[in-house]
A = this chain, B = another copy of it.
Amino acid sequence: MKTLLKNLTIIPMTEDGLSFTGDILIEGRDIAAIGPDLSSDAVDVVKDCAGRIAMPGFVNGHTHLSMTLMRNYKDTCSNLQEWLGQIFPIEDRMDDDDIYWGSMLGLSELIRSGCTSFADMYFHQWMTARACKEAGVRGFLSLTLFGDEEETKDRLSVRRMDEELDGDLLRRDLAVHAIYTCSDGTYRYTADWAREHGAIVNTHLSETRKEMDDCLKDNGCLPAFHLDRLGFFDVPCYIAHGVWLQDDEVALLRDKGVALVHNPSSNCKLASGIAPVSRFRKAGLTVGLGTDGASSNNNLSMVKEMRLAAMISTVSTLDVSALRPYDVMKMATIDSAKALHADDLVGSLEVGKRADITIIDPRKANMTPLNDIFSAIVFSMDEENIDSVYVNGRCLMEERRLLTIDEAEVRRQALKRWDRLRKED
Contact = CB atoms under 8 A, between A and B. Distances in A.
Given A76-B320, A315-B312, A365-B108, A382 B380 contact: no
A247 to B, nearest CB: 21
A115 to B, nearest CB: 12
Indicate the member of A72, A75, A108 with the most B CB atoms within 10 Å.
A72
A302 to B, nearest CB: 12
Given A112-B365, A299-B379, A78 B321 contact: yes
B71 A369 contact: yes
A225 interface: no
A109 interface: yes
A414 B112 CA distance: 28
A371 interface: yes
Contacts of A72: 369-372, 375-376, 379-380
A323 to B, nearest CB: 11
Indicate the member of A304, A324, A366 with the most B CB atoms within 10 Å.
A366
Interface residues of A, number: 71
A271 B315 contact: yes
A318 B78 CA distance: 9
A93 to B, nearest CB: 16
Interface string A260-292: 000011011111111000000000000000000
A363 interface: yes
A311 B268 contact: yes
Interface string A300-328: 11001001101110110111110011000
Interface string A213-251: 000000000000000000000000000000000000000
Nearest to A370: B72
Contacts of A376: 71-72, 298
A384 interface: yes
B75 A315 contact: no
Contacts of A108: 365
A421 to B, nearest CB: 10
A77 interface: yes
A90 to B, nearest CB: 12
Contacts of A109: 365-366
Contact of A301 (B68, B70, B366, B372): B366
Indicate the member of A267, A301, A383 with the most B CB atoms within 10 Å.
A383
A203 B258 CA distance: 49
Contacts of A383: 366, 382-384
B79 A365 contact: no
A188 interface: no
B366 A315 contact: no
Indicate the member of A68, A75, A77 with the most B CB atoms within 10 Å.
A75
A143 interface: no
Indicate the member of A70, A372, A410 with the most B CB atoms within 10 Å.
A372
Interface string A352-370: 0000000000011111111
A372 B77 CA distance: 13
Interface of A: 68-73, 75-79, 105-106, 108-109, 112-113, 264-265, 267-274, 294, 297-301, 304, 307-308, 310-312, 314-315, 317-321, 324-325, 363-372, 375-376, 379-380, 382-384, 407, 410-411, 414-415, 418
The 6 lowest CB-CB distance pairs between A and B, nearest first, are A108-B365, A72-B371, A268-B315, A268-B311, A298-B379, A109-B365
19 contacts: A71-B376, A105-B365, A109-B366, A112-B366, A267-B315, A268-B311, A269-B310, A271-B315, A298-B375, A298-B379, A299-B379, A299-B382, A308-B311, A312-B312, A365-B407, A368-B414, A368-B415, A369-B418, A382-B382
